[in-house]
Structures are given as C-alpha cells and as structure tokens.
C-alpha cells in the first residue's frame, strides 16, 4: 500500500510543487492538504494517514503544535528556515524529520522513507553541525546492555517499548539512559540517536 501523506503548508506555490513532485512517486499518495494550522486536528480525526508533512511557519508558528500532533501521526517538518536551533527544537518536540524547503526535491523522499522505517532524518548540514559538538567515541566503552538500549533508541522506541523489548523495567531503562548520556556526553534521546547513527553504536553483528 502507498504511504498516505497529508500536506500542511500555506505557501500555495510550494505546496503545488510539492504535490506535483510526490504524485510522480508511486510509493506515496496524498490523501489531504490544508493551508491552516488550526485545521490539523479535525483533519487528522477524519483522515487516515501515515505521515504528516508540516510547514513550520504557516499563519503562525506550528512548533507548539508538534507535541500534540506526534501522538496521532509521525511528523515530517518542512521549513524555509535553516537555523539549526529551529530544526533541533522540532526534533526535540517529537518531529521525526526536518527537511529544508530549498532541498526538498533532493531530500524529501529519503526523509519519508527513513521516517517510515521508524528512524529520524535530518539534513546532512545539521547532522554535521551537531556532530562537531559531540565527543569522539574512542575512549567510551558501553556495556552490552547499554548497547541494546542505544540500539532501541536509534530505532525510535520509547522507554516502555524498550523495557518490553529487553525484558527490564522502565526504571532500569531510565538508569541505563542516564549512564549512557553521561558516558557519551549527549543531552537527550535525539542527540543519542544521531550519535549512534554517525558512530554505528548499538549495532550487533
């Protein structure tokens, strides 16, 4: 079945171009469009979809909407702003991907496929900017259980899902995460997932 998309963007020309681009991709189908952020909740209630493409700046900034939206559907943020802080804020609120509008033709489908695999996607320039802030892994040693937790985080699993996957308690998951954060010098799950991806941590042969 094609991946069902909803497009929320109030820039008519961009939305038309995006629609034309996506219609050429057989693996996706557009099930709805809107140019108003306030229409998103009722639209999601009546329309089944697999992924929401959300403009970060519509008639108002939609960053504050992401928290509620991600409980209903994975969110891929589209933004004309290439300020790293905006993209990071969107990811930390639960967005699964950020695509800069001027690179949408090159990156959008890659981001869609990555999100549908349960992973997080960010522009290469943002990944590079964040990676320079992270400690190199040379002297870091993770236990096998910590590697399991990292692998689960990289797959997008929440604490309860990690606990079930590894047959441990949620409290134990939190303990492992706190220890991993300290060892790797990362601040949150988003940075941990990026770190794991770049350094191939948590993978089992």
CATH of the domain at 157: 1.10.10.10
What total of structural domains would you count in the chain?
Answer: 2
Average pLDDT over every residue of 78-103: 86
Report the pLDDT value the prediction gives residue 205, as an integer from 0 to 100: 46
The torsion defined by the Cα of 88, 170, 157 and 69, in degrees rounded to 10, comes to -60
Considering the domain architecture, whether residues 119 and 152 belong to the same structural domain is answered as no
Considering the domain architecture, whether residues 45 and 115 belong to the same structural domain is answered as yes
**Domain span at residue 177?**
144-199
pLDDT at 2 over 50: yes
- 81-90, 125-134, 183-192: range with lowest mean pLDDT: 125-134
Considering the domain architecture, whether residues 117 and 187 belong to the same structural domain is answered as no
Report the pLDDT value the prediction gives residue 200, as an integer from 0 to 100: 67
Report the pLDDT value the prediction gives residue 136, as an integer from 0 to 100: 47
Instruction: Give yes or no for a contact between 155 and 147, defined as CB atoms under 8 angstroms apart.
Output: no
Considering the domain architecture, whether residues 70 and 170 belong to the same structural domain is answered as no
Considering the domain architecture, whether residues 118 and 149 belong to the same structural domain is answered as no
- Identify the CA nearest to 172 among candidates 154, 146, 190, 195: 146
3-class secondary-structure state, position 151: helix
Considering the domain architecture, whether residues 24 and 114 belong to the same structural domain is answered as yes
Average pLDDT over every residue of 45-61: 91
Report the pLDDT value the prediction gives residue 85, as an integer from 0 to 100: 76
Report the pLDDT value the prediction gives residue 132, as an integer from 0 to 100: 55
E-assigned strands of 61-117?
75-79, 97-100
Q: Of all residues in the chain, what percent carry a pLDDT higher than 70? A: 90
3-class secondary-structure state, position 98: strand
- Identify the CA nearest to 179 among candidates 146, 139, 202, 147: 146
* Mean pLDDT of all residues belonging to the chain: 86
Structural domain contains residue 139: no
Considering the domain architecture, whether residues 31 and 86 belong to the same structural domain is answered as yes
Please report which confidence band the pLDDT of residue 139 belongs to, taking 50, 70 and 90 as the band edges: low
Question: In degrees rounded to 5, what are phi and psi of residue 35?
Answer: -115, 15
**Both structure tokens of 162:** 């990690």
Considering the domain architecture, whether residues 78 and 175 belong to the same structural domain is answered as no
Report the pLDDT value the prediction gives residue 203, as an integer from 0 to 100: 55
Considering the domain architecture, whether residues 77 and 16 belong to the same structural domain is answered as yes
């Amino acid at each position: 079945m094609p991946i069902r998309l909803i497009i929320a963007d109030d820039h008519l020309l961009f939305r038309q171009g995006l629609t034309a681009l996506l219609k050429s991709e057989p693996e996706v189908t557009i099930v709805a469009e809107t140019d108003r952020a306030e229409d998103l909740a009722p639209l999601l209630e009546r329309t089944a979809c697999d992924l929401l493409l959300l403009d970060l700046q519509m008639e108002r900034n939609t960053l504050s909407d992401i928290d509620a939206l991600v409980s209903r559907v994975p969110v891929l943020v589209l933004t004309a702003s290439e300020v790293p802080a905006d993209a990071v804020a969107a990811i930390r609120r639960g967005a699964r991907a950020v695509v800069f509008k001027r690179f949408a033709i090159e990156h959008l489908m890659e981001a869609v496929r990555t999100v549908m695999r349960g992973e997080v996607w960010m522009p290469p320039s943002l990944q590079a900017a964040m990676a320079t802030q992270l400690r190199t892994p040379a002297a870091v040693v993770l236990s096998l259980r910590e590697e399991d937790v990292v692998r689960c985080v990289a797959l997008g699993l929440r604490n309860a899902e990690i606990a079930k996957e590894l047959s441990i308690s949620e409290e134990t998951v939190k303990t492992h995460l706190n220890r991993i954060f300290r060892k790797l010098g990362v601040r949150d799950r988003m940075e941990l997932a990026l770190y794991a991806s770049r350094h191939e941590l948590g993978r089992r042969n």
